Amino acid sequence: MAVIAERAIATDVPREASFNYLVVRYWLTALAAFFVAAVIGLVLRWNQASGFLSLAWHYRLQTFHGAYMAWFAIASVAGFVWLLIRKQFEIVVPRARMELVYWLLLAGAGLFGFGVLIGGFAPGFPILPPLPLNPAGAWAAWAVNVSLSGMVLIVVATIAYLLEWLVAAHRAAGGLGQALGLSVFLPRGANPGGRTVPPYVLAVTAMALIGMYALPVGAYLVANILLKNNFPAVPLDPLFAKNMLWAFAHTLVNILYWGTFGIVYLLIPVITDREWKLYRLLVILWLVTIVTTGMTAMGHHLQLDPVPFSIVVIGQVGSYLSIMSWAAVSIYGAVERIWKSGITWEPKVSFLYFGMFMVLVGMAGAYLDAGPGFNTILHNTLWVPAHFHSYMMLGMALFIFACMYHYVPLLTRKTDDSTALPRVHFWMTAIGGVGLVGSFYLAGLLGTPRRMAAYPLDALPALAGLVTQASVPFALVLALAQAIPLFYLTRMLVRRA
């Protein structure tokens, strides 16, 4: 099933135009959110360099920026999941359910944004309790209710589409064990039909499975904060809440990355014309990733907290093991297939290739940060946004762009022979992104705290101020570049076939 299925899925989309346009609508909405959040990111960096925003607006925009970037990934992956369910499993999800998820996501984003922009809700993203409840007068209780209700809607919608995948995978692949690739451990001849799923099915199934743990944890935490916001007698322990927050937020970001790596697993074999099957080492490391990401990787967020020392060590080892499968087999496997493949370096390939490189860069940053001896001087500095911007903004987002540039012409049945705009998009994103992220890494080493409207430069080396100012032009290039896919894909939608 592997390579034939990949070819069919990657080159032959459903004939039902309304379904195809629904997928495109998910992606275009996500792109719009990404563009807005990128421009806000630029404003934040600019403000840190020159200070023109009020404190209230800086921290509102900071909260908005983080939340909408996460929303971009959630909505993009949703579109990808709908497409895969239809193509891989040939299962038709009722249109009403896909529309419901879309509108729930949109309503959630709207409510969250309203609470932030109008209500002044600015606890940063994610929302570390008990700050949402103790704003020192900066926002009203109603803003907490509105924004967190929006978060609940987003969490519910995400659970819904991941459940759709799990049900479809269970039915079509012959059980979740099969969908996780466990058949590779069966003796020869014991596997019914002798089939194993392709790696992208494993990646998306893993995402959905761990999502069923992380998202309810998030829903519980948000509900706890909401309840305490309205009934102060409701208990909320700060340490327990912090555990819950990272079990939710860190895991959610990780699994969304798995979903987008499904794009790499899907497109690389087709682009290079080389099969990518599951094999035992890949599945073993995937299982290690699933267990460690789900259970222990968030432990590095607790290394500076009043927790038993064993938790500190478990957090370190769990974090290291959670990224093993990416460095050892996944990205390695993709790069291996590109060697002597005669590949055409079109923009979508550049996005995939550079994205994988930046994921490894981010992982090197994460590796250093997750050791408690280093964590104590890197945590809460700009090193942290440096590493997650590396593998989200310059990894996950780039995989999504590659997916859109590949599929939107197919889904809309319209072609654009010119690759000039995607190419400009790639180079502006790469140059702006590396400059910005590089400034974050350096500033982090210089001890510059993250999430500050203005930096305490009299306490830090003078270089910290120069780094901040030098990064603004890169942020400008990066933000402007994100208008390109929006323009390109919208133009494709409205032009005649």
Q: Between residue 123 and residue 162, which ones bind other proteins under the rule CB under 8 A? A: 123-124, 128, 130-131, 134-139
Note whether 1 binds other proteins by CB under 8 A: no
Stretch that binds other proteins, among 23-31, 162-170, 339-347, 420-428 (CB under 8 A): 339-347
Is the Cβ–Cβ distance between 468 and 39 less than 8 Å?
A: no
**Rg, C-alpha atoms of the chain:** 22
Instruction: State the Cα–Cα distance between residues 81 and 27, nearest whole angstrom.
Output: 12
Least distance from C-beta 454 to other proteins, angstroms? 4
Q: Which has the closest alpha carbon to 448: 368, 369, 384?
A: 384
Binding mask 285-304 for other proteins (x = CB under 8 A): x------------------x
Residues 16-75, interacting with other proteins (CB under 8 A):
48-51, 54-56, 59
Residue closer to other proteins, measured from CB, 371 or 409: 371
The contacts of residue 118 (CB under 8 Å, 6+ apart) are: 143
Note whether 453 binds other proteins by CB under 8 A: yes
Is the Cβ–Cβ distance between 179 and 1 less than 8 Å?
A: no
Residues 360-399, interacting with other proteins (CB under 8 A):
360-361, 364-365, 367-368, 371-374, 376-381
Residue written as token pair 């466990």: 182
Note whether 233 binds other proteins by CB under 8 A: no
**Which H, E and C letters describe 110-165, residue by residue?**
HHHHHHHHCCCCCCCCCCCCCHHHCCCCCCCHHHHHHHHHHHHHHHHHHHHHHHHH
- Choose which of 91, 421, 454, 492 interacts with other proteins (CB under 8 A): 454
Is the Cβ–Cβ distance between 1 and 198 less than 8 Å?
A: yes
Q: Which has the closest alpha carbon to 210: 218, 221, 222?
A: 218
Least distance from C-beta 305 to other proteins, angstroms? 5
Binding mask 168-207 for other proteins (x = CB under 8 A): ----------------------------------------
Binding mask 74-113 for other proteins (x = CB under 8 A): ----------------------------------------
Q: How far apart are the first and last CA of the chain?
A: 33
Instruction: State the Cα–Cα distance between residues 461 and 453, nearest whole angstrom.
Output: 18
Least distance from C-beta 258 to other proteins, angstroms? 19
Note whether 441 binds other proteins by CB under 8 A: yes
**Which H, E and C letters describe 250-289, residue by residue?**
HHHHHHHHHHHHHHHHHHHHHHHCCCCCCCHHHHHHHHHH
- Choose which of 100, 223, 287, 463 interacts with other proteins (CB under 8 A): 463
Residue closer to other proteins, measured from CB, 320 or 401: 320
Residue closer to other proteins, measured from CB, 32 or 457: 457
Note whether 116 binds other proteins by CB under 8 A: no
Least distance from C-beta 317 to other proteins, angstroms? 6
Least distance from C-beta 327 to other proteins, angstroms? 6
